[in-house]
Copies of this chain bind each other. A is one copy, B any other.
Amino acid sequence: MKKTFLLLSFPLLFAGSMAAQNKDSVMLRTITNEILLHGKCYSYLDYLSNKIGGRLTGSPQAAAAVEYTYQLMESIGADTVFKQECMVPHWVRGGKETAKILTTTSGEYSVNICALGRSVATPEGGITANVIEVDSVGELKHLGKQAIQGKIVFFNGAFDETEVMTFGAYGKAVPQRFAGPSEAAKYGAVGTVVRSMTNSLDDYPHTGAMQYIDSLPKVPCCAISTIGAELLHKKLALDPNAKFHFEMSCQTLPDEKSYNVVGEIKGTEHPNEYITIGGHLDSWDQGQGSQDDGAGIVQTLEVLRTFKALGIKPKRTIHFVMFMNEENGTRGALKYAELAKLHKENHIAAIETDAGGYSPRGFGVNGKPQQKKKILGWRNLFLPYGIYDFMGGEGGTDIEPLQKSGTVMIGLMPDSQRYFDIHHTSQDTFDKVNKRELELGAAGVAMMAYLLAQYGVN
């Protein structure tokens, strides 16, 4: 009997699950078609990029983006829209960013640099010093104070081109930018210049955050374009006494009041089970922050719009979150997690989209084995949309503070090849975004959000 029971029940269970998957696959197709046919995210991004522009934390543009997305979510018809106040750093670039290589043999060469986020300014008139070139932070220890004292450290470790997914190369190279300045100061360096974080050989410096260690001297630090880095490398090889000169007028002002913006659709069956979808509203200042992370913001808005347009009533509560200050502080992310805890909200899962609005390739999933298994069980539903890769574990910076409370982390993974060509530069502008790629990413997030809201994670 037992055997018979098993033989009978297995196909029945299977048939049941097949029927559910069929119903789901019809709904996911409906969601995707709505976005591909009537999507608004591309026009939202046009506004955010061309009418508001770069949205550095603490800037008037960041404030304008708060108002724009607040009003947009109200007009789309979220059940409620609210702001979460948080104090944010207010670093400004200032007007001056110049640099040159001073050789002892062949004159001077201007190169393109930009200050790293949080850097102090140079003294007026700039800094001029001899240069020591390294390929990683680790090399500093071996060189020691004797070799570094009084010099500018030139971090010239390039992207590892053999990393197929470019985020892998970024992860390896980025300590030079983030930790490099204080590590160099530890050995007496007077400043640092870091090769831009990119696969591309071009003349745009890539900014990005760095972090000073409070107990160490704060030395000014900049990024140099890859063409500039190649030139500096070449000149130093020919002329080890060549000096580097740079001047920057960036500064850190007192903290400013700012906000996360949150739209909510209340769950019909499990209102205290929360699903977060979000990207970050702030961006660097040089470009328009269109791929980083305007794309994630407008994809999040598109999911809200689509759910409302199709009359989808999720079983669990969904938060559509415009996080503030991802780039240089993550204060918004910390505030969001803090308030979730304070309000005793049960955040079961969070989806972050902050890797560009390129063709979606997959999702990183990070949770307990059973939860991962459940989510991977939905994989077949995503294949018709070219979303195949569920192997990675990446979530995202803004949802990370939720993880301590056991929230399942999910990160949208778009194609990564073009991302670092423009990341954190003046070239991150609206024209770099393809409408359909952006929409397909939004569809990916919408489908995942739908399944999470219907079925939970346990």
Q: Find chain B residues with CB under 8 A from A388 CB.
A: 388-389
Q: Is A135 an interface residue (CB 8 A)?
A: no
Return A3 CB to nearest CB of chain B, in Å. 21
Q: Find chain B residues with CB under 8 A from A385 CB.
A: 164
A384 to B391, CA, bound (A): 10
User: Which one of A95-103, A170-178, A230-238, A413-421 is at the B interface?
Assistant: A413-421
Count identical subunits in the complex: 2
Q: Is A252 an interface residue (CB 8 A)?
A: no
Return A405 CB to nearest CB of chain B, in Å. 33
User: Which one of A31-39, A51-59, A146-154, A272-280 is at the B interface?
Assistant: A31-39
Q: Find chain B residues with CB under 8 A from A260 CB.
A: none
Return A95 CB to nearest CB of chain B, in Å. 31
Q: Is A165 an interface residue (CB 8 A)?
A: yes
Whether B164 contacts A386 by the Cβ 8 Å rule is yes
Q: Is A286 an interface residue (CB 8 A)?
A: no
Whether A164 contacts B415 by the Cβ 8 Å rule is no
Return A173 CB to nearest CB of chain B, in Å. 15
Q: Is A255 an interface residue (CB 8 A)?
A: no
Whether A359 contacts B417 by the Cβ 8 Å rule is yes
In the complex, the chain B residue whose C-beta lies closest to that of A164 is B385
Whether B36 contacts A161 by the Cβ 8 Å rule is yes
Q: Is A4 an interface residue (CB 8 A)?
A: no
Q: Is A24 an interface residue (CB 8 A)?
A: no
A84 to B434, CA, bound (A): 40
A161 to B437, CA, bound (A): 12
Whether B162 contacts A33 by the Cβ 8 Å rule is yes
Q: Is A303 an interface residue (CB 8 A)?
A: no
The size class of the interface chain A forms with chain B is 20 to 34
Q: Which of A21-45 contact B (CB under 8 A)?
A: 32-33, 36-37
Q: Is A361 an interface residue (CB 8 A)?
A: yes
Q: Which of A281-336 contact B (CB under 8 A)?
A: none
Return A286 CB to nearest CB of chain B, in Å. 21
- Residues 364-394 of chain A: 1 if any B CB is under 8 Å from the residue's CB, otherwise 0? 0000000000000000000111101101000
Return A80 CB to nearest CB of chain B, in Å. 32
Whether B434 contacts A418 by the Cβ 8 Å rule is yes
A165 to B385, CA, bound (A): 8
Q: Is A83 an interface residue (CB 8 A)?
A: no
Q: Which of A414-445 contact B (CB under 8 A)?
A: 415, 417-418, 421, 434-437, 440
Q: Find chain B residues with CB under 8 A from A361 CB.
A: 361, 386
- Residues 161-192 of chain A: 1 if any B CB is under 8 Å from the residue's CB, otherwise 0? 11011100000000000000000000000000
Q: Is A199 an interface residue (CB 8 A)?
A: yes
Interface centre among A165, A435, A437 (most CB of B within 10 A): A435
Q: Find chain B residues with CB under 8 A from A33 CB.
A: 162
Q: Find chain B residues with CB under 8 A from A161 CB.
A: 36-37, 436
Q: Of B200, B359, B421, B435, which one neighbours A415 at CB under 8 angstroms?
A: B359
Whether A199 contacts B436 by the Cβ 8 Å rule is yes
In the complex, the chain B residue whose C-beta lies closest to that of A163 is B36
A36 to B383, CA, bound (A): 28
A385 to B168, CA, bound (A): 13
Whether A415 contacts B415 by the Cβ 8 Å rule is yes
Whether A37 contacts B415 by the Cβ 8 Å rule is no
Whether A417 contacts B434 by the Cβ 8 Å rule is yes
Q: Find chain B residues with CB under 8 A from A36 CB.
A: 161-162, 164
Q: Find chain B residues with CB under 8 A from A417 CB.
A: 359, 434, 436-437, 440
| A to B CB contacts below 8 Å, 22 in the list | A33-B162, A36-B162, A36-B164, A37-B161, A37-B162, A164-B386, A165-B386, A199-B435, A199-B436, A359-B415, A359-B417, A361-B361, A361-B386, A383-B389, A386-B389, A386-B415, A388-B389, A417-B434, A417-B437, A417-B440, A418-B434, A421-B434
10 smallest CB-CB distances across A and B, nearest first, come from A388-B388, A36-B161, A33-B162, A417-B436, A417-B437, A359-B415, A36-B162, A359-B417, A164-B385, A418-B434
